[in-house]
Amino acid sequence: MALKIVKGSIDRMFDKNLQDLVRGIRNHKEDEAKYISTCIDEIKQELKQDNIAVKANAVCKLTYLQMLGYDVSWAAFNIVEVMSSSKFTYKRIGYLAASQCFHESTDVIMLTTNQIRKDLSSPNQYDTGVALTGLSCFVTPDLARDLANDIMTLMSHTKPYIRKKAVLIMYKVFLKYPESLRPAFPRLKEKLEDPDPGVQSAAVNVICELARRNPKNYLSLAPLFFKLMTSSTNNWVLIKIIKLFGALTPLEPRLGKKLIEPLTNLIHRIYLFFSQILHHLSAITLVCFSWLIAFLFFITVLISLSSGMPNHSASIQLCVQKLRILIEDSDQNLKYLGLLAMSKILKTHPKSVQSHKDLILQCLDDKDESIRLRALDLLYGMVSKKNLMEIVKKLMLHVDKAEGTTYRDELLTKIIDICSQSNYQYITNFEWYISILVELTRLEGTRHGHLIASQMLDVAIRVKAIRVFAVAQMATLLDNAHMLTGNTQRNGICEVLYAAAWICGEFSEHLENPMETLEAMLRPKVATLPGHIQAVYVQNAAKLFATVLKSQEGNTDSTTAQEASQLMIDRLPLFVQSANLEVQERASCILQLVKYIQKLQQKDVEVSEEVCALFAGELNPVAPKAQKKVPIPDGLDLDAWINEPPSESESEDEQPKAIFSKEEPKHSRPRHTEVDEKELARRREARKQEQANNPFYIKASPSSQKVYQETPGVEHIPVVQIDLSVPLKVPGLPMSDQYVKLEEERRQKERAEKKKKDKKKRKEKRSGRGKKHDSGPESEEDITPAHMVDIVTEEMPENALPSDDDERDPADPHKALDIDLDKPLADSEKLPVRSHRAAEVLKSPAEDEEGENVSSLEPKKKSSKEKREKKKDKDKDRKVKMLFESGLSEAKSSKHKKKKQKREKEDKEKKKKKKHHHHHHHHGDKGGEESVQNGTVEEEEPLPAYDIQGNLQDGSQVVVSVIFENKCDSFLKSMEFNVLDSLNSKLQRPEGSGPHDSLTIPFQLPPGVSNEARFVFTVQSIIMPQKLKGTLTFIVKNEESSTHEKLDFKLHFTCTSYLITTPCYSDAFAKLLESGDLKSSSIRLEGVNMPFHHLLARICFHHHFSVVERIDSCASMYSRSIQGHHVCLLVKISSQTVSVDAKCDEPTLLGNVLDEIKQTFSQC
Amino acid sequence: MIKAILIFNNHGKPRLIRFYQYFAEDMQQQIIRETFHLVSKRDDNVCNFLEGGSLIGGSDYKLIYRHYATLYFVFCVDSSESELGILDLIQVFVETLDKCFENVCELDLIFHMDKVHYILQEVVMGGMVLETNMNEIIAQVEVQNRLEKSEVRPFLSSSKSFPLIYVFGFSQVSAIKYSLSVL
């Protein structure tokens, strides 16, 4: 034995610790992987040993290996073992490892629930702290649900160190278990005013995090935050609060006004804080600091003003000017932050930022990529019809200069974003845009070929006027395809050929020379392109072929048509051999078709019409959300069963219901029902009208002819002759720059014309004050599109619902946290608390899970039920404490008891016992309480706590649950429980035993262990409280001796323990009161110094009532006894006096209940 | 919220990684590589903010970093954090390390990754800033270290009294501390 120990410790001495491992890895640079794998083998050996120190050391090394990228999840179980060590040192190692490598799908997490709970309630605050820290990293929905209540308790811990951690972790719990938010929120709010600044800051942190996603739910906290802002000295808190106000002010403009003054006062403090930070960063001149002040001031003012008060543009303007100086500063961090702030202003006041375009463009030249990206971001919001071309031109220059593909790709996507934003709102000349896109194709190695391609397709399809131009450009692209495909390694750009081929095929009627293009599309080089592009080539070659045939129709000389057929027949076999199925299939199909056509051609048969018919019809763009928006036709109920649902009664004879059965208008979809034809027509009309009035939503004419229809909305825009200013065909690859110049000229000409017109008009009118015209810069509206910008809207189904499209991502966890926090808590909202399995027959499975180990974990003697009670957060602490007292004190008098009701609030008070109606297996609640009457062996005995619960289902039985805990160092066994029966209440004993026999408790108690036993009582009348005397006998066994001990106690059955919380609706309640069967009675409580809702909560909790209705300082409440007595209360509060008027059909019961209520409040 | 905290050296070797959102180990390594790539190519005189890498974040996330001598300290945060505030936090963290290790250098982080984690746990918890007061952080760390000493010293000291270096006759502890220049 001794030898073994020595050997063990020698082995251990040779174990590597973390430092040795690191050193070893550093010494094996060349064969690191091999070395580590031998280390992992050693670690596996170490994990097999029983010594927890060895295991912890191994786990610590695994944590290091995890950092190097090794998967250590195989050791998850060992990590849990180390976590459960009783030593802080090892526990900390275990939790660290768990927080690094556990995640939601780690299955051993299930095993940790009880361990974590035990650690959370550890007397050592650092055990608790370490558990909270670990839990914050791997909390799962199950853990959140099971532990929410324990964590909430910790929010009121005596140590601020624990409080702040508990507050912070609540955010994680909310995310995983949103139901906990409402019950926990009142306490979280309390923590905003915690005396410890760390806790306060944690609470602000959590609430800001919550409010960021759902600000409207937190508006009611604004006054509290306002107070905090003016009183707090913690800069972190201030920053968070200011950010929070930034989110709140848009919702409540009045807030903004209130904020200005205190914000101004804050500036100095924040300034000091930031100057400290910046001091570390680099030498910043004092001048810079003053700008920093200005910056902060204006940012904060901005936040407060940005809420849509239009007359603040002057101060915004000023603010932007200050920001400009900041951006011009040499310090890069300031520059960055300045740009960031600019982008915030841009969202609300785009105009004021736009005048600083020069500065922003200048930032594009900055050496710092972060700053360039910020500037790009700003540009996106700054473009207008007027400056779009100029900005894009500048960006194109940068594209050419940019080194590094990441930044260049970023530029490329930004250019496309800028141009295509808001449905091409700012593009006045689509030829220019196509040229830009074509220029972008010259970028080598970009990843964004598909983006350019989709833009080309989109523009060509939706802007009909541009098709002629686009087709010409695309034909050129196809012709020069070799330039794009030169480097097949990184040929993301060849995606544009996909678009080019499709456009050329689809709109081939606009092609100058279809034959040439056809030839270009069938070149052998095409076979090197990716399969999906080849497929498009083949298909569109067929379209082109049809066009060629058509153009030759009526032409007596059929050589061109035959040449085309021959070309197809010569080239297509290449594609028939393609490895790509799609290409192969299309090619062989088309090849056969062409062969057949060639035959017909040789017989001089006119085929062009038939061939064209293959590709007739127009494709319209369909909005991505169109399908979702198709309204459900009247009378169609998607939830209705098509067939008879499988039912227990196999009645086959019932007629199957028709899907479109008219007779059942569904309530679930009220807006579709009862919409008659007229209404539909009206809506359709309204929608059309709306679209017509929006110049950028011009719908194609319903006949879908290719007519450039002038809709009413654009009539007033003068349509300019295209042919004058812009050459339709730009030879070779186009230069977008030409368009910039042309556009300038065009606009000037337009202006001149307009001026002329105006002059004429003026002359006609003879108006005297013409001189103020035209001198100013042209405004947005003056710029007219070069083309009739005929953007075809994306198609939507008829009657599309004009609904909100901006649904949030359903996966967003914050969506579940969009909860109204101002509503009072409903009775059913509470956090699950664990309790004994036996008591839980009807409980939710959630609570059920951990039922068993409770007793071993209980730090105090609490009945499991009490734990459940904890969920009523308000009274929780008080109650637990009382229980605790009842266990500890040796008072001779009867003790407190608790009871609880099946799912409601409970009371604790003294009760007299009376009738019973309880049902065994239902958690009957009834508290028995045991007073330790002969204080003899007090430390040794199990001090019971008990719990009484009534149940409606059996009016004559009560179950008393008693928790026994052994607080002494000896073993307790042979416990026997006996109660002296009264006439009214009797302990149920097993059949065959006498009326005075005691019951044997079916377990023994080792030191420090607690367990629960339950006893059933039969009760006749419940209208009076009652006390029963009882005795517990047991044997105390220790090493030397065993003694026989006895403990006397009293069980106190109160009247309220027979009440069961029963919800009641106000109309039923009113009827009940009107019925007149009820006797009334009333009491007054003086000096009640608590908020009304606390008062109500207390009554609900301790006396099992539910609130029926509450109006101001008056509330009606209801409860029901297990024997069906109705108890109604009307509670009013004025100053510190509470009057309770009560009605009940049993006056004695009522009197006793009222006495008990009185007692509850006299205790507090 | 802070999504991740990464410390790596001038060669991209991780010295501490702390993700507050789950990523598999190989993804974590990729993120470190990407972040290192992004951060290391930046001059020392550019700003300390960086739009997030594609792997870790998307547009709502930023990398806020500082470079001390041989080490990069990188925090990946979302838009609810103040940029300057996080810079300050990094400073607080590094100064705390400096106090706890007495002139911290990269070797301290290499050999005591666990201790660095314990210090970090007092600063940031579950991605949220827990404490920014350096004295408070150091106080809590020290109490816990004392607690650890009282529990484990008997065993540890016995093994320490026969350091492996003597057993094998060589010493790798030739580490010369070069303290972080900024501090």
Task: Provide the angle, in degrees to the nearest 10, between the axes of the packed helices B83-101 and A235-248.
Answer: 160
Quote the CA–CA distance of A1155 and A1144 in Å, as a whole number. Answer: 14
Give the CA angle between residues A942, A948, A950 to the nearest 5°. Answer: 160
One-letter amino acid at A717 equals: I
Nearest-angstrom CA–CA distance, B182 and B126:
29
What is the least distance, in Å, from the CA of B100 to any CA of chain A?
A: 18
Could you tell me where the DSSP H helices lie in A872-1015?
A: 873-888
**Does the pLDDT of residue A1106 top 50, yes or no?**
yes
Contact between A288 and A335 (Cβ < 8 Å): no
Mean pLDDT score, A378-383: 83
Is B147 within 8 Å of chain A by CB?
A: yes
Give the per-residue SS3 of chain B: CEEEEEEEECCCCEEEEEECCCCCHHHHHHHHHHHHHHHHCCCCCCCCEEECCCCCCCCCCEEEEEEECCEEEEEEECCCCCHHHHHHHHHHHHHHHHHHHCCCCHHHHHHCHHHHHHHHHHHEECCEECCCCHHHHHHHHHHHHHHHHHHHHHHHHHHHCCCHHHHHCCCCCCCCCCCCCCC
Q: Are B126 and A171 a contacting pair at CB < 8 A?
A: yes
Q: Which whole number is the average pLDDT over A245-264?
A: 67
Q: What proportions of chain A, in percent to the nearest 5, are helix, strand and coil?
A: 55, 10, 35
Which run of H or E residues covers position A1116? strand A1114-1121
Band (pLDDT 50/70/90 cuts) for residue B96 is very high
Task: Compute the nearest-CA separation of A73 from chain B (Å).
Answer: 10
Q: Of chain A residues 73-112, which have a CB less than 8 A from chain B?
A: 87-89, 92-93, 96, 100, 103-104
A954, A917 contact by CB (below 8 A): yes
The answer to whether the CB of A249 falls within 8 A of the CB of A255 is yes
Contacts of A139 in chain B (CB under 8 A): 126
- Would an 8 Å CB–CB cutoff place B107 in contact with chain A? no
CB A904 within 8 A of CB A1063: no
DSSP state, A284? -
Q: Is the pLDDT of residue A788 over 80?
A: no
pTM of the shown model: 0.59
Chain B residues close to A70, C-beta within 8 Å: 25
Q: What's the gap in Å between the CA of A54 and the closest CA on chain B?
A: 11
Residue A468 in contact with residue A728, Cβ under 8 Å?
A: yes
Cβ of B25 within 8 Å of Cβ of A66? The answer is yes
Note every long-range contact of B9-15, with CB atoms under 8 Å and residues 24 or more positions apart, other chains counting: B9/B70, B9/B71, B9/B72, B9/B106, B10/B40, B10/B70, B10/B71, B10/B72, B12/B36, B12/B37, B12/B40, B14/A67, B14/A68, B15/B71, B15/B106, B15/B109, B15/B110, B15/B113, B15/B116
Residue B6, phi then psi, degrees to nearest 5: -125, 135
**Listed residue (A145, A146, A141) closest to A115, CA to CA:** A146
* Average pLDDT over every residue of A958-982: 78
Q: Is A68 on the interface with B (CB under 8 A)?
A: yes
Among B17, B121, B126, beta carbon nearest to A67:
B17
Rounded Cα gap, residues A415 and A975, in angstroms:
84
Angle at A707 between CA A705 and CA A708, to 5 degrees: 145
B168 touches chain A (CB under 8 A): no
Q: How confident is the model at residue A447 (pLDDT cuts 50, 70, 90)?
A: confident
Helix axes A52-67, A32-48, angle to 10 degrees: 150
Residue of chain B nearest A133, judged by CA positions: B125
First to last CA, chain A: 61
User: What residues in B contact A276, CB-CB < 8 Å?
Assistant: 88
Judge whether A694 and A713 are in contact, CB under 8 Å. yes
- Average of per-residue pLDDT across A182-199: 89
Q: Give A235's contacts in chain B (Cβ within 8 Å).
A: 85
- A165 at interface of B, judged by CB pairs closer than 8 A: yes
List the alpha helices (DSSP H) in A559-703: 559-576, 581-602, 608-613, 626-629, 677-693
* B49–A336 C-beta distance less than 8 A: yes
Return d(Cα A714, Cα A698) in angstroms, integer: 9
Shortest Cα distance, chain A CAs vs residue B12, angstroms: 11
Mutation target to probe the A interface, by most A beta carbons within 10 A, among B81, B95, B114, B155 is B114
Q: Which residue has the higher pLDDT, A1161 or A300?
A: A1161
Over residues A993-998, mean pLDDT:
76
Nearest CA in chain B to A65: B25
Contact yes or no for A278 and B84 at CB 8 A: yes
pLDDT of residue A1088: 76
The pair of structure tokens assigned to B173 is 């502890």
Which residues in chain B have their CB less than 8 angstroms from residue A87's CB? 151-152
Residue of A nearest to B88 (CA): A277
**What sign does the CA torsion over A78, A81, A87, A92 have?**
positive
Tell me whether residues B182 and A280 touch, CB distance under 8 A: yes
Q: Which of B29, B48, B80 sits opposite A209 (nearest CB)?
A: B80
φ and ψ at A1053, to 5 degrees?
Answer: -95, 110
Predicted local confidence at residue A243, as pLDDT: 76
B130 to chain A, minimum CA–CA distance in Å?
7
Q: Do strands A898-899 and A945-949 pair parallel, antiparallel, or not at all (unpaired)?
A: parallel
What is the interface size between A and B, counted as CB pairs within 8 Å?
166
| Cα→Cα distances A159→A133, A169, A186, A206, A367, Å | 16, 16, 20, 19, 50
Cβ contact (<8 Å) for A333 and B47?
A: yes
Interface test with A, best of B80, B110, B152, B166 (most A CBs within 10 A): B80
Q: A134-138, A384-388, A469-473 — which is least confidently predicted?
A: A384-388
- Report chain A residues whose CB lies below 8 A from the CB of B159: 12-13, 17
User: Considering only CA atoms, which of A845, A1019, A1008, A823 is closest in space to residue A928?
Assistant: A1019
Instruction: Check A18 against B111: CB less than 8 A apart.
Output: yes
Cβ pair A411, A399 in contact under 8 A: yes
Tell me the mean pLDDT in the region A89-116. Answer: 90
Question: What 8-state DSSP symbol labels residue A312?
Answer: G
pLDDT above 80 (res A696): no
The yes-or-no verdict on residue A163 having pLDDT over 90 is: yes
| CA–CA gap between residue A429 and residue A411 (Å, rounded) | 21
Q: Residue B173: which pLDDT band, with cuts at 50, 70 and 90?
A: very low
Q: Taking the CA atoms of chain A, what radius of gyration do you get in angstroms?
A: 41
Interface contact flag, B121 A133, Cβ < 8 Å: yes
Chain A residues 171-200 within an 8 A CB cutoff of chain B: 171-172, 198
Residue A954 pLDDT level (bands cut at 50, 70, 90): low
Interface mutation vs chain B, best among A331, A370, A447, A809, most B CBs within 10 Å: A370
Nearest-10 Cα torsion for A441, A442, A446, A447: 20
Say yes or no to pLDDT of B14 above 70. Answer: yes
Residue B139: CA count within 13 A, CB half-sphere: 7
Residue A588 confidence (pLDDT) above 80: yes
* A577–chain B Cβ distance below 8 A for any pair: no
- Supply the pLDDT for residue A449: 82
| Contact list, B164 vs chain A (CB under 8 Å) | 14, 20
A331: Cβ contacts below 8 Å, ≥ 6 apart: A278, A281, A282, A284, A288
**Mean pLDDT over the full length of chain A:** 72
Mutant choice from A60, A67, A299 vs B, greatest count of B C-beta within 10 A: A67
CB A1123 within 8 A of CB A1049: no
pLDDT tens string A910-948: 333 333 333 333 333 333 333 333 333 333 333 445 656
Residues in chain A within 8 Å Cβ distance of B148 = 88-89, 92
> Rounded mean pLDDT of A709-723?
40
Alpha carbons B61 and A744: distance in angstroms, whole number: 41
Judged against a pLDDT cut of 50, whether residue A267 lies above it is answered with yes
The ipTM of this complex is: 0.86
* A1059 in Cβ contact with A1105 (< 8 Å): yes
What is the signed CA dihedral for A908, A914, A919, A924, rounded to 10 degrees?
10
Say whether A168 and B128 touch across the interface (CB within 8 A). Answer: yes
Q: Could you give the CA distance from residue A1154 to residue A1056 in angstroms, rounded to a whole number?
A: 9
Q: Distance (Å, rounded) from C-alpha A721 to C-alpha A735?
A: 21
Which candidate from B28, B127, B148 shows the least CB-CB separation from A88?
Answer: B148
How far apart are alpha carbons A726 and A728 in whole angstroms?
6
Least confident segment among A340-354, A492-506, A599-613, A724-738: A724-738
